[in-house]
Amino acid sequence: MRIQGISGSRGVAVGNVYRYIQEEIVIPDYNVTEDKVEEEIGKFATAMASTLKQLDTIRKKALDEMGPEEAAIFEAHMQIAQDPSLSDGIKSLVESSHMNVVAATAQTIETFANIFLGMEDAYMRERGADIKDIGDRLMRNMLGMNPRGLSHISGEVILVAHDLAPSDTASLDKAVVKGIVTAAGGPTSHAAIMARTLEIPAVMGVGDIESFADGDKAVVLGTDGIVEINPSDADWTEYTNQALAFQEELKRLRESANLEATTIDGHHVELFGNIGKAKDAKHALTMGAQGIGLYRTEFLYMENDELPAEEIQFEEYKKVAQDMKGQPVIIRTMDIGGDKELKCLDLPSEMNPFLGYRAIRISLNRPDIFKVQLRALLRASAFGDIHIMYPMIASVEEVKQANAMLDECKEELAAEGKDFNKDIKVGIMIEVPAAAVISPILAKYVDFFSIGTNDLCQYTLAVDRMNEAIGSLYQPLHPGVLRLIKHVIDASHEQGKFTGMCGELASDPVATMILLGLGLDEFSMTASSIPLIKNILRSVSKTECEEVANKALTMDTAEEITEYAKSVLAEKGLL
């Protein structure tokens, strides 16, 4: 039997079905009397203490086994669990309605989760699932039940579940779980993200798990989003071979992590990592990054109630510079606004936040904040090869103003006798179409460009990058976007400058040959994508990529370009 779902994680896996069905939580049906209210609230405090302890253990395990991105999920869970509005909500239901503490938790969690689950954006809906996961853990602790988890499974299985919460997947063993099928969720669900991190083929959103029985033979065709249950013997043999070939491919990719990103005709490409926190740099290095192409510093500002002091920022930037041992580290000045709100800055709500008071616009308007960051960056530049990058640049004036403030900071630091790199490289993100168009002018004022395709695509095509309803119109390989990318790369090269790319397109294997053919000097992406892209770069020649890029530029639609690029990759056995 063949079931069509949604692709969650690429690759082929075969195995016997293991249905993961959780022991249900039964919410006790009693109210507490006035004299027991305090005791009941005490149960909440005890359960919370156990919850935080468990989450911290999981966080450490995730950090060791899966990397900082996974660990951050549990860090976020710990923060959400400690949010006073959650505990206040639960306590007040016990106090005012005399509900038992489990029922009060269930109700409060439901209210909170529903706010997120009702949102249009898929990412925000997933945060609703996180809140439910925390509630589940709290209630299990209150009831003395075993926490959720997958550590009891043995053998080699295809895991079939309604959905998988972070708590489930944290104990997932890659040697045991060969493939994943979930009834719910899509490509942005936690289960899918985790499957991609662990490189386990996965299909999501198959509807229900009624068609699966424990022990059934199952094939997960992750790339196509298909599951085969009990196929014919001939098919089973064929799929088993495909699964083995996929494992071989993964092995090769891992082995290539430390190899150079050089094409077969000897052209070297900079393959860099994108990070959001200083401590992620080491992980990027293990995955084969030769530099950091985008350090999104806004997390430093978003985490705290206060603006981060110069000393705090300096320590963070210095850490990345030192961890990268002299390799380039491109640090972007804060890109607040748009979808990123700040607790420490009272930003006005706007009709069109992506077109509003954002990024460099805030920095230039608030030298008191911007100069703190620039000073920290300059001071950290004494410890490694830091480059400064300004986000959302649309005009030459903005670059001049930002650089004038940078010069002031340099003068101040020199007067204070502090060390910094006087020739620090300064570049800009190219993510506003006007900047792409005037890139030949902008190139005179900067050392490098980095193309932010996430924003460049949304602004060029007038397609909100967060709006799923128009997701199919979001086409980074649209001929219009491609022409802008070519224009920017050419403009930088004509003036001896370099162009990188740190938007998602840099990690899309379908785009790799085209981008290389257009002359992109540096590709920067989330660490987990580096091996895949490196393998492509090492398997092609610059010359053939130039032909592919030239041909792509003659095509009329994003679909044609995509199909063509895929066919070239497939021919080379790279898809």
Q: So which residues are the catalytic ones?
A: 190, 502
431 binds ligand PEP (CB under 6 A): yes
Where does this chain touch ligand PEP (CB under 6 A) — which range of 192-200, 202-210, 283-291, 451-459?
Answer: 451-459
- Residues forming a β-bridge with 17: 158
Where does this chain touch ligand PEP (CB under 6 A) — which range of 219-227, 320-328, 450-458, 550-558?
Answer: 450-458
Which listed residue (453, 460, 499, 507) binds ligand PEP by CB under 6 A?
453
Closest CA to 367 of 308, 421, 409: 409
The nearest distance, CB 453 to ligand PEP, in angstroms, is 5
Write 559-565 long-range contacts (CB < 8 A, 24+).
561/477, 561/479, 561/482, 561/514, 562/477, 562/510, 565/477, 565/510, 565/511, 565/513, 565/514
121 binds ligand PEP (CB under 6 A): no
Closest CA to 202 of 175, 183, 230: 183
Which tokens is 339 given? 């979808």
Give the 3-state secondary structure of residue 270: strand
Judged by beta carbon distances under 5 to 8 A according to partner kind, the member of Mg ion, ligand PEP, none in contact with residue 502 is ligand PEP
The nearest distance, CB 505 to ligand PEP, in angstroms, is 8
Contact yes or no for 514/235 (Cβ under 8 A): no
Residue linked to tokens 């930088």: 492
Contact yes or no for 49/274 (Cβ under 8 A): no
Q: Write the Ramachandran bin of 181: left for phi over 0, alpha for psi from -120 to 50, otherwise beta.
A: beta
Which listed residue (91, 137, 296, 375) binds ligand PEP by CB under 6 A?
296
Contact yes or no for 489/502 (Cβ under 8 A): no
Cα separation, 454 vs 510, whole angstroms:
16
328 binds Mg ion (CB under 5 A): no
Binding mask 454-473 for ligand PEP (x = CB under 6 A): xx------------------
Judged by beta carbon distances under 5 to 8 A according to partner kind, the member of ligand PEP, Mg ion, none in contact with residue 522 is none
Cα separation, 68 vs 483, whole angstroms:
36
CB of 130 or CB of 455, closer to Mg ion: 455
Residues 427-446 that bind Mg ion (CB under 5 A): 431
The nearest distance, CB 485 to Mg ion, in angstroms, is 15
The C-alpha angle with vertex 575 and arms to 547 and 229, in degrees rounded to 5, equals: 160
CB of 189 or CB of 460, closer to ligand PEP: 460
529 binds ligand PEP (CB under 6 A): no
Which tokens is 127 given? 């945060």
Judged by beta carbon distances under 5 to 8 A according to partner kind, the member of Mg ion, ligand PEP, none in contact with residue 51 is none
447 binds ligand PEP (CB under 6 A): no
280 binds ligand PEP (CB under 6 A): no
Q: Residue 380 corresponds to which amino acid?
A: A
Residues 449-468 that bind Mg ion (CB under 5 A): 452, 455
522 binds ligand PEP (CB under 6 A): no
The nearest distance, CB 446 to Mg ion, in angstroms, is 17
270 binds Mg ion (CB under 5 A): no
Closest-approach residue to Mg ion (CB): 455
Give the DSSP per-residue string, 278-299.
Answer: GGGHHHHHHTT-SSEEEEETHH
Which tokens is 128 given? 């609703």
The nearest distance, CB 274 to ligand PEP, in angstroms, is 7
Contact yes or no for 175/184 (Cβ under 8 A): no
452 binds ligand PEP (CB under 6 A): yes
335 binds ligand PEP (CB under 6 A): yes
358 binds ligand PEP (CB under 6 A): no
Closest CA to 19 of 136, 146, 197, 162: 162
Within 10 Å of residue 307's Cβ, how many Cβ atoms? 18
Judged by beta carbon distances under 5 to 8 A according to partner kind, the member of ligand PEP, Mg ion, none in contact with residue 185 is none
Binding residues for ligand PEP, rule: CB under 6 A, are 294, 296, 335, 431, 452-455, 502-503
Binding residues for Mg ion, rule: CB under 5 A, are 431, 452, 455
